[in-house]
Every structure is written in C-alpha cells, then in structure tokens.
Amino acid sequence: MKDISLIIPAHDEQESLAPLVHETRRCYERLGIDGEIVIVDDGSTDKTSKIVEKLCGEGPDVKSIRFPEKTGKTNALRAGFHLASGRVIAIVDADLQYDLAELPLLYNPILSGRYDLVNGYRIRRQDSIIRRAPSLIYNRLNRWVFHVNTRDANSGFKAMKSEAFASIEPFLRKDYHRYLVSVGGYLGYRILEVPITHFPRSTGRSKYSCPTRIITGFLDMLRVRWLLRGYQSSVTKS
C-alpha cells in the first residue's frame, strides 16, 4: 500500500498535465514518501490521452483510467479512488492553479493522527468575479445546511484518509464532489482547513463558469442532506 495517492481528474488538459505530474513527483521526493499519481482522463478530446500514456510509460508511479466520453468530476474521482492504493487520498485539479509544494499542509495533519480530512481554502482566489460570487453564496449556504464550518468547501485541493473517502463515496452522485467535506463532517470525521495559494489559470479554459449553478447547487445540498438524514435514521434504528 502506498503512503499517498494523488487523484487528478482531467478533461482537455494537454498543456498542464505533464508539468503537474512532474511537480508531484518532485514533491514526493522532497517529502520522502512512497506516493502514486492516478490520472482520470474524463473524455478528453485534445491530446490529453496521449500525454497520459507517455506519463504512465515513465514509471509505475503513474496509473490512469480513461473514459471515452465526459462523465463529470464526481465520477472521475470515484473511478480514481478505486484505482488508488494510498492510505491517504489527495485530490487536485489539473489546471495548475494549485501549488503542489503545499501538499505537506494537507498531508502532515492527517499523518499526525489528529485529522481525517484536510481541505485547502484559497486565501486569494485567482478567478473571475463570475466564479467567485456564486462560490461565496454557495459556501454560506453550505455552512447553513450542513453545519460544517468551512470557508471553501469546493476547493480543488484536499486530502483525506482512504477510509474517510470510502465512507463518503456512497453519497456521491453526479456533481456531488463539491460536498466531500460537508458529508465528511456530517459523518463525524475530523476536519481541518488550511490556507493555500491559488494561481490564475494559465492554460486551457475553465469548465465551471455558469452563475446559475448556485440554484442547482442549493437543490443538490438539500438532496444530500436528505440522503444523510436517511442514513442517520437507518443507523439509529439498527
């Protein structure tokens, strides 16, 4: 079993994927840990699949799975988890907006045994107002619905124990990846948020920019909360 598995969901990220993998390898080497990288090519239409094939050929530390059509980030993460063998599962977006040198900020609190899930919150988010404004509303609603004190629940850089992800996974349906932290908190896992750096996107283009998603997002919150209440009720009865 590996110390850590970094899952990278990727859709049309031909320019950013190789630099991200190489930086992750350097990070593992600096930390002195036995880590692996799991790339999920979610129906890319550019040269991502060829780049992934080349990266996998560079060493056994890179695994991959490819979907012929786009299935969404939630499904990509679930597929990556089932391919991963790490005691700790880390997740990062493939857009180079996160600093892999900060991985110890997420990994070390879990290694210490004090926390089960560590979420990176972007202290100076480098996105357009079209993305930041709905996210601000979403995070406030998220705290209200789930009673989890998080500032950046949908951050693309987080880590958790493998068993925590396994417990959360049954509640993950389409687009529910944004509730990973909320569900984990509701299930009783110990959560920590740490400040992380966020860079402007320098390659590719954003896949999440529709302000109306806050409406569907709120409805999804209520559905997730309903699922969790049903689970809690069944556990109480048993």
List of domains in the chain: 2-237 (3.90.550.10)
The CA-atom distances, in angstroms, between 225 and each of 81, 141, 167, 182, 222 are 23, 12, 15, 9, 5
CA distances from 37 to 63, 204, 213 (A): 6, 21, 30
pLDDT over threshold 70, residue 69: yes
Please indicate whether residue 200 or residue 65 has the higher confidence score (pLDDT). Answer: 65
Q: For residue 117, which amino acid is it?
A: L
Report pLDDT for 130. Answer: 65
Span 145-159, mean pLDDT? 89
Query: What is the percent of the chain with per-residue pLDDT over 70, rounded to a whole number?
Result: 88
Chain segment 209-220, per-residue pLDDT in tens: 555 666 777 788
The C-alpha R_g of the chain, in whole angstroms, comes to 17
pLDDT band at residue 140 using 50, 70 and 90 as cut-offs: confident
- Average of per-residue pLDDT across 127-151: 76
pLDDT reading at 142 higher than 90: no
- Find out whether 217 and 143 touch, Cβ atoms under 8 Å: no
User: From CA 235, how far away is CA 45, in angstroms rounded?
Assistant: 44
The two three-digit tokens of residue 121, written as one number: 């919150």
What value does the mean pLDDT take over residues 40-65? 96
Mean pLDDT for the stretch of residues 122-134: 69
* Cα 101 from Cα 128, distance rounded (Å): 24
d(CA 132, CA 214): 11
Residue 16 CA to residue 83 CA, distance in Å, equals: 22
Q: Which of 73, 5, 65, 4 lies closest to 40, judged by CA?
A: 65
Residue in the block written with tokens 């390659």: 203
Longest dimension (CA), the chain: 52
